[in-house]
Chain A
């Protein structure tokens, strides 16, 4: 008997099909449930000139640190906790290194919805009157409603273009080998839309379990992702580190601060890169365990 396709693969194999110049979407929100293991794997490739679509956090920061971003579609980039502002995103912007397509947060969802529904655009009120349109130039247009309001006027709305993606990366808590997956935290964010807006769909999960175990472990409503939405599955424990993947783990605040401070000089970033990013994912996780152990030992010693 043949079963459904087993889509399990490795991080390196998954990102090997990403090419320079592609448009990629990254799930999660700010510094929450970001597919950081995939992002770290992308840093290990020679890919450049990416167009990135994200509710941005340190995923955007790390890609900017390696000069991989050409154009960025985003509503914000935030670390969600002190020091809040991502240093690499700030550097990329203040040096003019990236083309910014900044927009309202709701516009980003609207663009993903349009792409997922194979529509050229969806109307939205957000953006009117603001400088969002200055960020986009001619790329963002408006549309006049064919239907009158009660007063007989016709609304001119932003025609949010479909944010169609070449590839999307998301990280969930629990999944099976064929790409069904659940979030066990409080918010699904927009991971389902990112996948449905993309041509190639990459899912990492904290843990891969048999389908029967997956569906017994969570209420059916938590099964956000079904296997039609996924091409590749990677088991990546601690794969959202240092962002939060509650309830599996909280944001690693100490490490996030370490990341932000390391960006302060070439020397400290060089050391950060050598320690955490020069090797593979297993090396990264080992270095993080050492960071945590060293911090705990230092705290104990200072008592």
Chain B
């Protein structure tokens, strides 16, 4: 029997975010998601566009940390235009995320006098109101998934003003964590379990989440990588094993 690690399951779950995405720019903000995006491009979503983390669009799909042939130019100004255009799916991290998908990567505590300062809201407000946004959380805990977020950086579904058509492009799509895959198709767009990774119990997710996760009992099991996918992850995309630094090597 083939042995599969939790990190490999997470990489596949991240890749699945981009299934049927078509010809759009994919912006992974963490190594695990970058591994998933490369896997998607090498398998079921060959048309997605990826950058090298700077302003080059990659024609090749090089291993993590390596460079490859390019196919175009994507400076920050063009990123802003592309995101307003909507042809983008970003996967951000989150210091906090609530039941409606509001995300914080700015600071903890009061807005003008925080207890801890992180980056600031960065592009999260513009990303979330313009195009598909997902999140990757490598350490699923009640600290991250709490009752409310201190600084709403990426907006959640409860912020959508149905009377204002400017919100019509909001698509807070999914959250992938080390425990499972979640969407916002619970009641009133609350977080719902889509699948739990092999070996993860519903109770473990409930215990590590500060709000009720819908659909825990009916959640499926996250699929394992195929043999080809596993080989791609191990040998082609991430030979240095960056994935195992983000998610401990639990055998699935």
Contact = CB atoms under 8 A, between A and B. Distances in A.
A100 B111 contact: yes
Given A104-B126, A106-B80, A187-B54, A129 B161 contact: yes
Contacts of A94: 109, 113-117
B77 A109 contact: yes
Contacts of B113: 93-96
Interface in A99-120: 99-100, 102-107, 109
Interface string B58-100: 0000000000000001011100100110000000000000000
Nearest to B164: A156
Interface in B101-157: 106-107, 109, 111-126, 128-130, 151-155
Which among B116, B125, B151, B160 has the greatest number of chain A C-beta atoms within 10 A? B125
A75 B127 CA distance: 13
A129 B152 contact: yes
Contacts of B76: 29, 105, 187, 189-190
A153 B165 contact: yes
A103 B75 CA distance: 20
Which among A84, A95, A132, A189 has the greatest number of chain B C-beta atoms within 10 A? A132
Contacts of A100: 111-112
Q: Which range holds the interface residue count of chain A?
A: 35 or more
B19 interface: no
Given A109-B77, A186-B56, A187-B76, A125 B120 contact: no
B165 A155 contact: yes
Contacts of A93: 107, 113-114, 117
Interface of B: 54-56, 73, 75-77, 80, 83-84, 106-107, 109, 111-126, 128-130, 151-155, 159-161, 163-169
Interface of A: 29, 56, 74-78, 84-85, 89-90, 93-96, 99-100, 102-107, 109, 124-132, 134-135, 149, 151, 153-157, 186-190
